[in-house]
Amino acid sequence: MSGGTGQTGKRPTLRAQLKDGWLLSAGCFDAWSAKLAEHVGFSSLHFSGGAFHTSQFAYAGLVYTMPEVASQVARITAAVDIPILADLDTGFGGVEDILRATRELERAGAGGIHIEDVPFPITRDGSGGTGVIPKNEAVGRVKAALAARTDPDFLVVGRTDSTISVDDLIERSNLFLAAGADVAFPLVRSVEVEGRRLSELPPPERLEWYRRIVREIDGPVVTVGGVDRTFSANQLRDVGFTWVIVPLVAFNAATAAMTHALREAVEDGRADQYFTEHPNPLKPAEYMKLIGYDRVAAHEREFGATASADESARPNGRAGQGES
């Protein structure tokens, strides 16, 4: 992958990538997780609002704001050369907030946003679901985001968290697409099916429901993968999803690794067993290159103190003349 800083050339667009008919995007929450996803071969990213929130506050009662999201997305896009879909949540308020938030995320370099139909402010308490706003209001959010974008390649994805029924999930998705959304994002795992969550059904039954949902939505559909590790990305593609995002793989892996290593370190200060069993896959030279030390050194040679010192040491330099 590119070793650049996000400015090495024209960034590919999510829209162009989707024309190939299939896209798998890695979840990220900061520049380093994004950089590693690019390094291992992902061609696109998803900025997870939930992972970002936890990484910043570690407390559900604190709510991140649009400027915080925009600044974090800007740091990510400066670090990588692949496009990113950003989680806009509900748009951070009313219509004017949605308009501004969309413009700010586009300005930050995102390749698109997804906006959802849960009430603002979001108050998730772990009990399962928050309810959804009326359909006309949800469509209005999508239309506002569409009106705010200035780059025609910038994607607007309409997400529905409806748990009412599969029919409601499909209807809302089609309403978003009819309003102009580029992609529909039905949150399929939590929807009610015959008195149970879809995620509670046996995997073969779930796949059949997925096929129906995708078949009856009149446009490309993105879904979440990797949450419970039941289905591979290829299985989700085979039932018809156009796009799979894995928003929490990096975050959950980082959480698990830090917990295991720190539990050992608090006992002996080394975490030797953890690192013996989980050696860093990045060699020192690879790590240094990945974070750009080669470019830093080149810039110092060309523009910095080292360049000045080299110049002064030359026989024809001013200092050399004074010493002769």
Q: Is residue 260 part of a domain?
A: no
Q: What is the pLDDT of residue 309?
A: 52
Whichever domain contains 143, its CATH number is 3.20.20.60
* Average pLDDT, integer, range 98-103: 98
Higher pLDDT, 2 or 189: 189
pLDDT at 130 over 80: no
Q: Is residue 9 part of a domain?
A: no
Are residues 316 and 191 both part of a single domain?
Answer: no
Are residues 138 and 75 both part of a single domain?
Answer: yes
Q: What is the pLDDT of residue 293?
A: 93
Amino acid making up residue 67: P
* Average pLDDT, integer, range 113-126: 83
The per-residue pLDDT for range 12-37, each reduced to its tens digit, is: 999 999 998 899 999 999 999 999 99
Residue that is last in its domain, among 230, 247, 264: 247
Number of domains in the chain: 2
Are residues 70 and 134 both part of a single domain?
Answer: yes
Domain extent, residue 323, equals: 292-324
Are residues 202 and 298 both part of a single domain?
Answer: no
Higher pLDDT, 248 or 318: 248
Are residues 125 and 231 both part of a single domain?
Answer: yes
Q: Is residue 143 part of a domain?
A: yes
Q: Is residue 313 part of a domain?
A: yes
* Average pLDDT, integer, range 301-315: 64
Q: Is residue 221 part of a domain?
A: yes
Are residues 195 and 319 both part of a single domain?
Answer: no
pLDDT at 304 over 90: no
The per-residue pLDDT for range 284-298, each reduced to its tens digit, is: 999 999 999 999 999
Tokens linked to 148: 């705010």
The per-residue pLDDT for range 178-226, each reduced to its tens digit, is: 999 999 999 998 899 989 999 999 999 999 999 999 999 999 999 999 8
Q: What is the pLDDT of residue 312?
A: 53
Q: What is the pLDDT of residue 129?
A: 54
Higher pLDDT, 2 or 102: 102
DSSP 225-260: -SSSS-S-HHHHHHTT-SEEEETTHHHHHHHHHHHH
Q: Is residue 254 part of a domain?
A: no
Are residues 189 and 314 both part of a single domain?
Answer: no
Are residues 101 and 239 both part of a single domain?
Answer: yes
* Average pLDDT, integer, range 133-148: 98
The per-residue pLDDT for range 36-77, each reduced to its tens digit, is: 999 999 999 999 999 999 999 999 888 899 999 999 999 999
The CB density around residue 189, as the number of other CB atoms within 10 Å, is 16
Residue that is last in its domain, among 184, 214, 247: 247
Q: What is the pLDDT of residue 227?
A: 84
Are residues 61 and 130 both part of a single domain?
Answer: yes
Q: What is the pLDDT of residue 194?
A: 86
Q: What is the pLDDT of residue 211?
A: 97
Are residues 71 and 133 both part of a single domain?
Answer: yes
Q: What is the pLDDT of residue 77?
A: 98
Q: Is residue 6 part of a domain?
A: no
In the sheet that 112-116 helps form, which strands lie side by side, from edge to edge? 183-186, 155-160, 112-116, 84-87, 45-47, 23-28, 243-246, 222-224
Tokens linked to 284: 């020192």
Residue that is last in its domain, among 219, 247, 275: 247
Determine contact, residues 114/160, Cβ cutoff 8 Å. Answer: no
Q: Is residue 158 part of a domain?
A: yes
How distant, in Å, are the alpha carbons of 64, 87, 100 from that of 52?
A: 9, 10, 20
* Average pLDDT, integer, range 150-178: 97
Are residues 243 and 298 both part of a single domain?
Answer: no
The per-residue pLDDT for range 229-266, each reduced to its tens digit, is: 999 999 999 999 999 999 999 999 999 999 999 999 99
